[in-house]
């Protein structure tokens, strides 16, 4: 008898075969989603590889594979000046005179601005040139203040100068004032020219000096003598009148000094024995 026919004729074997077929069908049904998931995963990996390859192809040649450093990104620089000032094209013939000492945060800021304007008077009066030139004469604390100004906050030189003066007004140092002039006196053996030079130098360091105060102080500092008496009689009302009087007296003193120097040489000639 055939063995397969015997198995089929046995009822128990028939049930086993049916159960086995059912299990195989169930396993196949469960395997299909898993295979689909695996296929999708492989497709994703393949797509990722393709994207990576495309990304590598799109990158510039200067990368790690070529051994070259990647291009550096430019640092964005902010400026306190407006776009109009920064975009202004300065002529190639423009030259900036570097005769002004940079302001470091100590001293009268108004004096620094006045010196700068006097220096730039013959060069240019354009706001963009004045603004960009003035910033080159700042150093230390003043340069730090300038770099911390809000971006685009300055659109004119008048505005720039006002901000600068207001910020550093506390750094203003007055070494001398008008009362100091009353302490300057002409020495007993000091010639008038030296006295006036010393007095004028001190007066120039005093801001907003009243000319009448200066005239009174310079007359009060004269030593007693013929010139002081002449000034007391003529009573000059302005500094110009006083200088006119002083010029004549200085010429007389210089003439006396020249004769005093020549006198010893002439005396030596007279003292030579005659043959």
Tell me the pLDDT tens digit for each residue of 108-166: 899 899 999 999 887 788 999 999 999 999 999 999 999 999 999 999 999 999 999 99
Tell me, yes or no, whether 246 and 183 share the same domain. Answer: yes
pLDDT recorded at residue 106? 85
Question: pTM for the full model?
Answer: 0.44
Measured distance CA(117)–CA(121) in Å, rounded:
6
- For residue 263, what are its two tokens? 């006198």
Q: How confident is the model at residue 87 (pLDDT cuts 50, 70, 90)?
A: very high
The pLDDT of residue 264 is 66
Q: Do 205 and 261 reside in the same domain of the chain?
A: yes
Q: What is the CATH number of the domain that holds 251?
A: 1.10.1200
pLDDT band at 209 (very low <50, low <70, confident <90, very high): confident
Query: For position 2, what pLDDT does the model report?
Result: 46
Is residue 210 located within the same domain as residue 238? yes
Taking 70 as the threshold, does the pLDDT of residue 273 lie above it? no
* Confidence band, pLDDT 50/70/90 cuts, at residue 50: very low
Q: Is 204 exposed, middle or buried (0-12, 13-18, 19+ CB in 10 A)?
A: exposed
* 7 pLDDT more than 50: no
> Does the structure show a pLDDT above 80 at 32?
no
Averaged over 80-104, what is the pLDDT?
89
**Domain co-membership, 107 together with 166:** yes
Listed residues 147, 171, 195: the one ending a domain: 171
Taking residues 237-251, report their average pLDDT: 93
Residues 194 and 153 in one domain: no
48, pLDDT greater than 60: no
Q: Is residue 87 situated within a structural domain?
A: yes
d(C-alpha 252, C-alpha 192), whole Å: 10
Is 216 in the same domain as 261? yes
Could you tell me if residue 30 is inside a domain?
no
Contact 129, 90 (CB under 8 A): yes
| pLDDT for 3 | 47
Give, as one character, the DSSP assignment of residue 133: H
Mean pLDDT (the chain) is 79
Distance CA 37, CA 40 (A): 5
Cα distance between residue 21 and residue 231, in whole Å = 141
Q: Which among 129, 149, 171 is the end of a domain?
A: 171
Alpha carbons 207 and 80: distance in angstroms, whole number: 31
Please report whether residue 142 resides in a domain.
yes
Cα gap 86→80, rounded to integer Å: 9
Residue 111: inside a domain: yes
210 in the same domain as 131: no
Question: Do 147 and 194 have their domain in common?
Answer: no
Which of 154, 171, 188 lies at the terminal end of a domain, its last residue? 171
pLDDT of 143? 94
Residues 148 and 183 in one domain: no
Cα dihedral: 76, 77, 80, 82 (round 10): -60
The tally of domains found in the chain comes to 2
Section 89-110 average pLDDT: 87
Please work out, in degrees rounded to the nearest 5, the angle formed at the alpha carbon of residue 101 by the alpha carbons of 98 and 107: 155
- Can you list the alpha helix ranges (DSSP code H) found in the chain? 3-9, 11-58, 83-86, 109-120, 127-134, 141-147, 157-167, 178-181, 192-204, 211-220, 226-234, 239-271
Identify whether 255 is part of a domain. Answer: yes
Report if residue 120 sits inside a domain.
Answer: yes
Is residue 183 predicted with pLDDT exceeding 50? Answer: yes
207 and 266 inside one domain? yes
Q: Is residue 229 assigned to a domain?
A: yes
Q: With pLDDT > 70 as the criterion, what percentage of the chain qualifies? A: 66
Q: CA nearest 65: which of 76, 57, 77, 54? A: 57
CA distance 142 to 90: 24
Do 183 and 164 fall within a single domain? no
Query: In terms of domains, do 197 and 260 share one?
Result: yes
Question: Is residue 77 situated within a structural domain?
Answer: no
Range of the domain at 126: 83-171
User: CA-to-CA distance for 248 and 264, rounded, in angstroms?
Assistant: 26
Alpha carbon distance 91, 247 (integer Å): 48
Model pLDDT, residue 107: 85
């Amino acid at each position: 008898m055939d063995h397969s026919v015997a198995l089929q004729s046995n009822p128990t074997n028939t049930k086993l075969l049916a159960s086995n077929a059912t299990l195989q069908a169930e396993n196949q049904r469960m395997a299909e989603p898993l295979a689909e998931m695996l296929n999708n995963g492989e497709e994703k990996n393949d797509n990722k590889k393709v994207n990576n390859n495309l990304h590598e192809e799109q990158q510039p040649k200067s990368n790690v594979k070529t051994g070259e450093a990647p291009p550096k990104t430019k640092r964005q620089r902010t400026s306190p000046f407006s776009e109009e000032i920064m975009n202004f094209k300065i002529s190639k013939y423009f030259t900036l005179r570097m005769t002004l000492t940079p302001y470091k945060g100590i001293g009268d800021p108004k004096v620094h601005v006045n010196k700068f304007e006097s220096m730039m008077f013959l060069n240019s009066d354009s706001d963009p040139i004045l603004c960009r030139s003035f910033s080159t004469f700042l150093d230390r604390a003043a340069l730090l203040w300038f770099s911390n100004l809000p971006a685009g906050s300055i659109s004119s030189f008048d505005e720039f100068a006002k901000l600068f003066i207001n910020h550093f007004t506390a750094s203003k140092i007055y070494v001398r004032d008008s009362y100091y002039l009353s302490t300057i006196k002409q020495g007993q053996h000091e010639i008038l020219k030296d006295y006036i030079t010393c007095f004028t130098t001190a007066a120039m360091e005093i801001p907003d000096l009243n000319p009448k105060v200066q005239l009174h102080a310079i007359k009060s500092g004269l030593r007693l003598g013929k010139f002081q008496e002449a000034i007391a009689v003529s009573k000059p009302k302005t500094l110009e009148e006083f200088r006119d009087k002083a010029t004549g007296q200085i010429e007389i003193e210089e003439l006396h000094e020249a004769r005093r120097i020549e006198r010893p040489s002439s005396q030596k000639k007279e003292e030579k024995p005659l043959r």
